[in-house]
Amino acid sequence: MIRHLAALASLLAFFLVLPAVSSAEGLGEMRISLLEGDVQVRSADTEDWIPTSVNYPVLEGDSVWVPEGGRLEIQLRNGTAIRLNEQTAMDVLRVEPGATQLYLSSGQVFVNFRGLRKDLMQIDTPVSSVRTYNKAVFRVDVSLNGFTDASVYQGVVYAEGRGGKTRISANKMVSIEDDGYSELTVMGPADDWERWNRARDRRYSERLYSSNYLPDELDGYSSDLDENGKWINVPDYGYVWTPTVVVSAGWAPYRLGRWVWLHGDYVWISYESWGWAPYHYGRWAHVPRYGWCWVPPRRGSVYWGPGYVGWVHTSNDIAWVPLAPGELYYGHGYYGPNSVNIVNINIQKTVVYKNVHISNAVSVVNTDTFIHGRGAPRPAGENLFINQKATFGAPQIKPVRSMMMPVVKEVPKAKLPPPKVQSQASEAKFRELRETRPVVRQPQGSLFGGGAAGQAAPSRSFRETPQAGPKTPAVQQAPSGQAAKPGDRSRSGGFIQTPKQQGGQQQPAPAQKPGASGGFIQTPKQQGGQQQPAPAQKPGASGGFIQTPKKQGGQQQPAPAQKPGERSGGFIQAPSKQQQGGQQQPAPAHKPGASGGFIQTPKQQQGGGQQVTPAQKPAAVQKPAAARGKETEAPAKEKKEEQKFKESPSERKFGP
C-alpha cells in the first residue's frame, strides 16, 4: 500500500499561475528542420559558436554559419522555409508577430514564404533590403564584391538600395550595387542550388493527409508526419498519429535526443526528423495494439512547450516520462490551460502521472551524462517515479556550456566561421543592426529613407520592348551544357531576348557569346513581313547593344557583329532613311582602336539609295558636315563606365 501511494508523484513546489510570459515561451517560432555538414550557431546563451542539430530552436539574436559543404533549412511556424547554402552567414534580427527580419552578410538564401497577407519577410544585406508582403518564392545572393542579387520565382518582391526601390515580379532578378544603381533583368537558367531548393519545395507541397487531422496552427509540419507515420482512429482520443520509423523495440517518446538549457529552461532537442510538433505540442498515449500515439492539441488550444514530460531525479540519475492527455505540465512559464507556472519551491503538491506504469515509458540518464552529453537516455531499470527517495521536478543544476549544446562534438578548424564572420557576430553588432535596420511593414515604406515612402531606384536595366503578339515576351535559354554557377545570375541576364513577332513567324536571337557582359542583343524592327535576328556579339565586346538599321525598301539587313577589341560602350548607329534606291546598307563595324562615339551616317540624299560613311580610323571620329557641332561622348567618361562593367558575372564568388 505504501509502495502504491508512492506512485503518486509528490512534487515539492509552490504553484502560482501567472499571466507573465516566460523567456522560453518564444522558442517555438523557428526551428532547424534540416542540416548538412558542420552548421554552427551563436546565441546570447552560449556567447560562442556551437555545433547544432535538427529541431534546434532558432531565436531572435542568433547568428548562423554554414561552412563549405554544408546546407541548412530553417522552418517557421507558418510553414515558411528559409534555406542557406554553404559559405553563408546570417543573423536573426527580429522575430515578431507577422514579421521576420534577417541579415545576410554573405552567401545565399532561398526563401519559400508562406505568411499570411500583409505578413513581412525582410532580408537585409550590406547594400540593400529585400522584402515581400505576401506569399512568394525568391532568393538573395550576396557576393564577395559587394553585389546583392534578388531573384523572384513566384510572387512580388521589393529590393531597395541606397538609390531607391525596385519592384521585382516573377522570373525577374535585380542586381544592386553599393553605389545605389540596380539592374533589372530576366532570370538565367537554374543552377544546382535552385534545383535543390525546388526539390525541397515539392516535399512541402506534396502533402497527403496529415493536414486533415492537425489544427491549422500546425499545418506547416504536415510533411514531417506524412513521411514518418500514420493516423489511426482510437476510441478515447479520436485520430492520433503513431510513428512508423522506430529505431528499436524498446522505443518511447523523448528518448532519442537530449535536454538543452535554453533561455532559463530545459528544452528537448529530438534527433528524429519528425520530432518537433509531437514533442512540443500535445500529449502522448499508449494505445493497445498500436503502441505509442501522439494526441495533437485541439484547434484553438495550440501552445508550444519545452517538452511535455514529468520529471524526477536522485543524486545520481535523472528521469522523465511523457505526459498523457489531460495531464498538467509544471514548468517555468505559461504553456496553455493544461500548464502550471512554477515560481517558488516551498510546499508539497501531489501529482499522478499515468504513463509511469507503461513498460519502457520512463527514460533515465546519469547526471554526468545529462550535463556533458556523453551517452544517451535509456529505459529505466528501476522506475524512479515509485522510488521514495526520488525528488520530483526538473533537476536544479547550474548550467555549463555543454548543457547548452544540442550535440557535443568538436568542429574541424577548417569549418569554423572565418574571422570576419566571428567579428560581426557580437552583441554590439547586433544592437547596431537593429538600430540602423528597422522593420519596413508597408510596401511603400523605405529602409534607407527612414521609413518614408521610397523612390524608384536609378536603374541601368534593359527593358523589354512590347511585342505584336502575346504580352509575355518569348525568351530563349542559354545553350545547354552551360549550367550557371552560384552567382552567375546578374548582368548577364541568362536569357536572350527574342526579336519582335514579324510576318506571323518569330526567330530567336542567337545566344550571347562568352565575354559579352551587357544584357540583351537588340533585334531589328518589323520589316517586310519577316525578321532576321541580329548576329551575336563576339567575345571582347563588353557593353551595350548592336543597333540594327531601320526599315528600308521592304527588306532589312542586320548590322555586322562587333569585332574583338572594339569600343566597349554605346551603339553602332545605322544609316538614316534615304530616298536612294529604296534599299539600305548597314554601317560597317567600328574598327579596333576607335575610342568613342558612334559612326554617324550622312543626311538624306537624293537618288533613292543610301551611302554609308567609311569606317573611322583610330585617329579621330570624323563627322559629316551637317552633324558637326554636336557633342560626342567624352572618352574619360566612357572609360569610367567601361571599368564599372568590367567584371563578368562568372567571376562572382560567394562567402565571407
How far is the C-alpha of 83 from the C-alpha of 199, rounded, in Å? Answer: 12
Residue 548: is its pLDDT beyond 50? no
Of the ranges 159-173, 468-482, 575-589, 635-649, which is most confident? 159-173
**3-state per-residue secondary structure call for 371-423:** HHCCCCCEECCCCHHHCCCCEECCCCCCCCHHHHCCCCCCCCHHHCCCHHHHH
pLDDT class for 591, splitting at 50, 70, 90?
Answer: very low
Amino acid at 197: N
Mean per-residue pLDDT, 35-43: 96
Instruction: Count how many Cα atoms sit within 13 Å of the Cα of residue 94 in the half-sphere of its side chain.
Output: 21
| 163 contacts 147 by C-beta, under 8 angstroms | no
Which grid cell sits at 485?
Answer: 554557377
Residue 32: is its pLDDT beyond 90? yes
3-state secondary structure of 198: helix
Residue 556: is its pLDDT beyond 50? no
pLDDT class for 585, splitting at 50, 70, 90?
Answer: very low
The predicted pLDDT at position 533 comes to 46
Residue whose grid cell is 520589316:
527
How far is the C-alpha of 92 from the C-alpha of 65, rounded, in Å? Answer: 12
pLDDT class for 593, splitting at 50, 70, 90?
Answer: very low
- Backbone dihedral angles phi then psi of residue 184, each to the nearest 5 degrees: -100, 120
| 526 contacts 556 by C-beta, under 8 angstroms | no
Task: Look up residue 25 and give its DSSP letter.
Answer: G
How far is the C-alpha of 275 from the C-alpha of 229, rounded, in Å? Answer: 12
How far is the C-alpha of 139 from the C-alpha of 134, rounded, in Å? Answer: 15
The predicted pLDDT at position 343 comes to 67
| 8 contacts 352 by C-beta, under 8 angstroms | yes
Percent of the chain beyond pLDDT 70? 62
Neighbour count for residue 592 (Cβ, 10 Å): 12
- CA distances 527 to 474, 531, 559, Å, are 19, 6, 14
pLDDT class for 379, splitting at 50, 70, 90?
Answer: confident
Mean per-residue pLDDT, 16-24: 43
The predicted pLDDT at position 294 comes to 98
- Backbone dihedral angles phi then psi of residue 398, each to the nearest 5 degrees: -65, 125
Amino acid at 193: W
Each domain of the chain, given as residue ranges in start order, spans 2-19+207-394, 26-204
Percent of the chain beyond pLDDT 90? 47
Please indicate whether residue 254 or residue 553 has the higher confidence score (pLDDT). Answer: 254
pLDDT class for 654, splitting at 50, 70, 90?
Answer: low
Which grid cell sits at 162?
Answer: 541606397
Which grid cell sits at 186?
Answer: 530576366
Residue 589: is its pLDDT beyond 70? no
The predicted pLDDT at position 126 comes to 94
Which grid cell sits at 463?
Answer: 527593358
The predicted pLDDT at position 250 comes to 84
Strand pairing category for 339-352 and 329-331:
parallel
Closest CA to 415 of 40, 25, 143, 3: 40
DSSP per position, 531-569: --PPPPPPTT--SS--PPP--BTTB--PPPPPPTT--SS
Nearest-5° angle of CA 351, CA 355, CA 357? Answer: 100
CATH topology of domain 26-204: Jelly Rolls (2.60.120)
pLDDT class for 293, splitting at 50, 70, 90?
Answer: very high
